[in-house]
Amino acid sequence: MSDYLIGRSRTLTADVRIDRTDVDRARRELAGRVWRTPVVRCDQLDALAGTRLWLKAENLQRGGSFKVRGALLAVDELARSGSRGVVAQSTGNHAIAVALAAREHRLPATFVLPSDAPAGKIRRIRATGAEVLTVGTLLAERVAVVEELRERHGYDTVDPYENPRVVLGQATATAELLAQVVAEGARLDAVVVPVGGGSAVAGACLAAAGSGTAVIGAEPEAVPALTAALRAGRPVTVSAGHTMADGLRPDRIGALPFDLARPAVTSVVTVREAAIADALRAAFLHVRLVIEPAAATALAAALSHAAEHGGDVGVLLSGGNVEPGLITSVLAEQDSLV
């Protein structure tokens, strides 16, 4: 198991060899255990984007986000190895996903979330019977508590960024999207994915390798962790401003995701808060999908930049675990798009 606990040591990532073939194997492992979520089209969004958008609706996924994919792959393996329980830090969705996977294997689970995590996400984790602790708002604070819990309980860590099985699982969302678009007789010129700790963008790079599909990362202007890492040539901790995209608040990109994304990602778009709100509202009013702000960040980047990349652009709508109160307040605001 410790093969996968590579987050603590930067050098270990060099030993990780995962590629497109592993993504295909991951898809087979997950078949029948996650929903094959639909790819949704919408005339009004196409008109706003100036190109055809293909929305991968992982907000409709089990647990309300694409993260159940990686969680199942990782926890399956831990369970097979005789794990006594799991612990993970998360902004919310990874914890919901690991909690569901742990419940499937009847493993105890404890999660460390930031103190500003949405109440609804915490409620969803606790609904599985798992424990939740909250601490600070910085990634490093959560990682320290996870380490302590791991040692105290003898639990296994399921890191949301540094675990190759997690990244492979997240890659299957983009792989499935690419295949679904091909089944409709088209081919994606680009795919836009949100960037938090980096598992989605790293997964997209794995899934799109060799396909000719460009991978565009989208991150809040307030927390430009990938932009900063690409500039520095290595993951760096950024000074995070406030963003409504709670899932994209990690202030540092993971080492494994960075290694995978760095040579493969086509570009990174930073998105203003107002554009995130506009996209969230557009998804609600035009597509009739409830998405969370992280997913809206990818949609916002697609609305503003997709047309530069070609005629068919995919968007990973990563999740739908949003506070009703946030939807209400966003719907009440002036909208520059609609």
Decide whether 145 or 330 has the Cβ nearer to a copy of itself: 330
Q: How far is the CB of 83 from a copy of itself (least distance, A)?
A: 24
* Contact flag: residue 334 with a copy of itself (CB under 8 A): no
Residue that the structure tokens 């202007």 belong to: 221
Decide whether 59 or 172 has the Cβ nearer to a copy of itself: 59
Binders of a copy of itself among 26-45, rule CB under 8 A?
A: 35, 37-38, 40-43
Decide whether 149 or 282 has the Cβ nearer to a copy of itself: 282
Q: What interhelical angle do 67-80 and 93-104 show, nearest 10?
A: 40
20-28, 45-53, 54-62, 71-79 -> range binding a copy of itself (CB under 8 A): 54-62
* Contact flag: residue 288 with a copy of itself (CB under 8 A): yes
Return the closest-CA partner of residue 174 out of 54, 41, 90: 54
Q: Which of 181, 255, 280, 287 binds a copy of itself (CB under 8 A)?
A: 287
* Contact flag: residue 126 with a copy of itself (CB under 8 A): no
* Contact flag: residue 62 with a copy of itself (CB under 8 A): yes
Q: What interhelical angle do 164-183 and 199-208 show, nearest 10?
A: 50
**Residues binding a copy of itself: number (CB under 8 A):** 25
* Contact flag: residue 299 with a copy of itself (CB under 8 A): no
Give the up-direction half-sphere exposure of residue 220: CA atoms within 13 A in the CB hemisphere: 27
* Strands 156-157, 86-89: pairing kind: parallel
Beta bridge partners of 316: 56
Residue that the structure tokens 């307040």 belong to: 329
What are the residues whose beta carbons fall under 8 Å from the beta carbon of 269, sequence distance 6 or more? 192, 216, 217, 218, 219, 301, 304, 305
Q: How far is the CB of 30 from a copy of itself (least distance, A)?
A: 15
Decide whether 82 or 332 has the Cβ nearer to a copy of itself: 332
157-165, 200-208, 240-248, 289-297 -> range binding a copy of itself (CB under 8 A): 289-297
Decide whether 197 or 320 has the Cβ nearer to a copy of itself: 320
The secondary structure of residue 247, as a DSSP letter, is G
Beta bridge partners of 254: none
* Contact flag: residue 109 with a copy of itself (CB under 8 A): no
8-16, 56-64, 207-215, 244-252 -> range binding a copy of itself (CB under 8 A): 56-64
Q: Which of 16, 79, 186, 327 binds a copy of itself (CB under 8 A)?
A: 327
Give the burial string for 231-261 (b: 16+ CB within 10 Å, else e). eeeebeebebeebbbbbbbbbbbbbbbbbbb
What are the residues whose beta carbons fall under 8 Å from the beta carbon of 237, sequence distance 6 or more? 139, 140, 251, 252
* Contact flag: residue 290 with a copy of itself (CB under 8 A): yes
Q: How far is the CB of 71 from a copy of itself (least distance, A)?
A: 15
* Contact flag: residue 258 with a copy of itself (CB under 8 A): no
CA distances (Å), origin 16, targets 89, 163, 253, 263, 321: 22, 10, 17, 15, 31
* Contact flag: residue 320 with a copy of itself (CB under 8 A): yes
Residues that bind a copy of itself (CB under 8 A): 35, 37-38, 40-43, 57, 59-60, 62, 64, 284-285, 287-291, 320, 324, 327-328, 331-332
